[in-house]
Amino acid sequence: MESQKSQKFENIRLFGIRPCSLIDGDGMRYAVFFQGCKHYCDGCHNKESWDENEGYEKPIQDIIDDIKTRKYFIEGISISGGEPLLQYDKLLTLCKEFKKQLNKSIYVWTGYEMEYIKKHYPELLSYADEIFDGKFEINNPTKKMYRGSNNQQRWKKEGNTWGIID
């Protein structure tokens, strides 16, 4: 029991938080931006989030507690970066605790593609409801919602099956 409790209070290194966002997914969302990225996409709009040593630390439970104060106003949590999968254990703890304590939707943005996620980060697929995958490509513009370039896919889970939408 002690290991579970200490995990809840583990710190995540963050670039920032937007407690009420209408641009980071469907409906009002609590947006969490992880610090650190190794994709180094040309034209990235969060370039300041690349350095893993920058940003600030915040306990996972503090994030959950803050979300609870807004639970009647938000549709779910949106997790981006930087690259959230660089802090995979902490990402997983945040997702597990969020589902356990609030049971709302979880959207995750990552530069990795779904096949890579399935192979290397399969447990995330048990908690996320939507995943936006693929590196940002500055020369590949898009009009798709919530994506920066046309190569990026929006995956949605229906039951235990993942499929691409819009």
Which of 118, 116, 60 has its CA nearest to residue 92?
60
Q: Indicate yes or no: pTM above 0.85.
A: yes
Residue 99 sits in a domain of what CATH number?
3.20.20.70
**Inside any domain, residue 141:** no
Look at residue 28 in the predicted model and tell me its pLDDT. Answer: 98
**Inside any domain, residue 64:** yes
Tell me how far apart the alpha carbons of residues 57 and 13 are, in angstroms, rounded to a whole number.
4
**Inside any domain, residue 11:** yes
Collect the ranges in the chain with pLDDT lower than 50: 1-7
Look at residue 6 in the predicted model and tell me its pLDDT. Answer: 44
**Inside any domain, residue 78:** yes
Q: Quote the domain boundaries for residue 110.
A: 2-126
Look at residue 8 in the predicted model and tell me its pLDDT. Answer: 52
Interhelix angle 88-101/60-68, rounded to 10 degrees, is 30
Structural domain count, the chain: 1
Look at residue 133 in the predicted model and tell me its pLDDT. Answer: 98
Tell me how far apart the alpha carbons of residues 151 and 143 are, in angstroms, rounded to a whole number.
11
Task: Give the contacts of 72 (CB within 8 A, at least 6 positions apart).
Answer: none
Look at residue 166 in the predicted model and tell me its pLDDT. Answer: 82
**Inside any domain, residue 42:** yes
**Inside any domain, residue 133:** no
